[in-house]
Amino acid sequence: MASDKTRLLLALESLFGAAGIAADENGDGYPDRLKVGIGVAPGLCDANVWAQIVNLAARLAGEVAALDLPVVKALPHASAGAAALVVHRPSKRHPCEAELRRSGRAVHLAGRSAARMADVLHSLAVHGSLPRGERRPWSSLRVAGSEALVMEAFDRRGRGVGRFRLSPARPPAEKTGVERFDLLDLAGTLYRVSAETPRAKELALAIELPRQRLSFQTGLALSEAVVRAALEATRVELPLAASGPGRAGGVVLRVAERPGRGARLAVEKGENAGGVIVRAEGDARSLAALLQDWVSIGFAAGGPAGEGVRRLRGRIDGLLAMIAAGAPPAAREAPASVRRRLAWRSETERLIETVRRVPTGRGPIQGLALISKPGKVRTQVRREIARVLRAKGYAPAIVVLNAYKPGLSWLREVVQPALEAIPRLERVRIAFREFASDPPALEMQSRWLQELYPGPDLLAAALGLPLERVRLSMRGRLREAYVVTAWDRDGAQVYRAGFTPRVSRLPYLPGHPESGWVHPCTGGIRLAQSGCVLVDESLPTDRERFWRFFQESILPALEGAMAARLADGGGRLPPAFWEEAAIDVRIPETD
| Domain-wise residue ranges, the chain | 4-165, 186-305
Mean pLDDT of 302-314: 56
**Between 3.30.379, 3.30.420, 1.10.30, 2.70.98, what CATH number should domain 4-165 receive?**
3.30.379
The predicted pLDDT at position 525 comes to 96
Cα–Cα distance for residue pair 74/89, rounded to 1 Å: 12
Least confident of 243-252, 311-320, 369-378, 417-426: 311-320
Three-class DSSP category at 568:
helix
Q: How confident is the model at residue 562 (pLDDT cuts 50, 70, 90)?
A: confident
Mean pLDDT of 69-77: 83
Among 14, 15, 86, 30, residue whose Cα is nearest residue 63: 30
Sign of the Cα pseudo-torsion (64, 66, 68, 73, in order): positive
Round the CA-based radius of gyration of the chain to a whole number and report it: 30
Mean pLDDT of 168-183: 84
Cα–Cα distance for residue pair 29/25, rounded to 1 Å: 9
Q: State the DSSP code for 76.
A: G
Cα–Cα distance for residue pair 564/558, rounded to 1 Å: 10
Q: How confident is the model at residue 566 (pLDDT cuts 50, 70, 90)?
A: confident
Model confidence at 158: pLDDT above 80: yes
Long-range pairs for 395-398 at CB < 8 Å and ≥24 separation? Answer: 395/363, 395/364, 395/365, 396/364, 396/365, 396/366, 396/367, 397/364, 397/365, 397/366, 397/367, 398/366, 398/367, 398/368, 398/369
Cα–Cα distance for residue pair 262/586, rounded to 1 Å: 10
Please list the residues that pair with 9 across neighbouring strands.
Answer: 165
Model confidence at 581: pLDDT above 90: no
Q: Assess contact for 565 and 577: CB atoms under 8 A.
A: yes
Identify the residue with better confidence: 484 or 27.
484
Q: State the DSSP code for 534.
A: E
Among 26, 27, 31, residue whose Cα is nearest residue 66: 31
- CA distances to 267, 286, 369, 516 from 278, rounded to whole Å, are 5, 17, 45, 50
pLDDT tens-digit series, residues 88-115: 999 999 999 999 999 888 999 999 999 9
Identify the residue with better confidence: 177 or 309.
177
The whole-chain average pLDDT of the chain stands at 85
The structure's pTM equals 0.56
Least confident of 8-12, 167-171, 172-176, 205-209: 172-176
* Domain over 186-305 is classified CATH 3.30.379: yes
Model confidence at 130: pLDDT above 60: no
Mean pLDDT of 48-63: 94
Identify the residue with better confidence: 400 or 298.
400
Q: Do domains 4-165 and 186-305 have the same CATH topology?
A: yes
Cα–Cα distance for residue pair 224/226, rounded to 1 Å: 5
Q: Assess contact for 87 and 39: CB atoms under 8 A.
A: yes
Identify the residue with better confidence: 545 or 67.
545
Q: Which string of b and e fits 497-528 if b means at least 16 CB within 10 Å?
A: eebbbbbbebbeeeeeeeeebbbbbbbbbbbe
- CA distances to 37, 101, 107, 108, 261 from 104, rounded to whole Å, are 14, 10, 8, 10, 43
Cα–Cα distance for residue pair 519/403, rounded to 1 Å: 13
Model confidence at 279: pLDDT above 90: yes
pLDDT tens-digit series, residues 382-410: 999 999 999 999 999 999 999 999 999 99
Identify the residue with better confidence: 276 or 52.
52
Mean pLDDT of 244-252: 79
Model confidence at 129: pLDDT above 90: no
pLDDT tens-digit series, residues 456-485: 999 999 999 999 999 999 988 889 999 999
Model confidence at 320: pLDDT above 70: no
Model confidence at 335: pLDDT above 70: no
Q: What is the DSSP string of 549-563?
A: HIIIIIHHHHHHHHH
Identify the residue with better confidence: 305 or 389.
389
Model confidence at 308: pLDDT above 90: no
Mean pLDDT of 196-218: 89
Cα–Cα distance for residue pair 563/48, rounded to 1 Å: 57
pLDDT tens-digit series, residues 486-525: 999 999 999 999 999 999 988 888 777 778 888 899 999 9
Name the amino acid, one letter, at 355. V
The predicted pLDDT at position 45 comes to 95
Long-range pairs for 326-335 at CB < 8 Å and ≥24 separation? Answer: 332/579, 333/565, 333/569, 333/574, 333/575, 334/564, 334/565, 334/568, 334/569, 334/574
Model confidence at 571: pLDDT above 60: yes
Q: Assess contact for 75 and 110: CB atoms under 8 A.
A: no
Q: Are strands 470-474 and 425-432 parallel, antiparallel or unpaired?
A: parallel
Please list the residues that pair with 38 across neighbouring strands.
Answer: 72, 85
Model confidence at 72: pLDDT above 60: yes
* Residue 178 neighbours by CB distance under 10 Å: 22
Among 430, 501, 505, residue whose Cα is nearest residue 471: 430
Model confidence at 175: pLDDT above 70: yes
The predicted pLDDT at position 253 comes to 93
* Residue 92 neighbours by CB distance under 10 Å: 6
Please list the residues that pair with 24 across neighbouring strands.
Answer: none
Cα–Cα distance for residue pair 5/134, rounded to 1 Å: 12
- What is the CA 73 to chain-centroid distance, rounded? 10
The predicted pLDDT at position 307 comes to 55
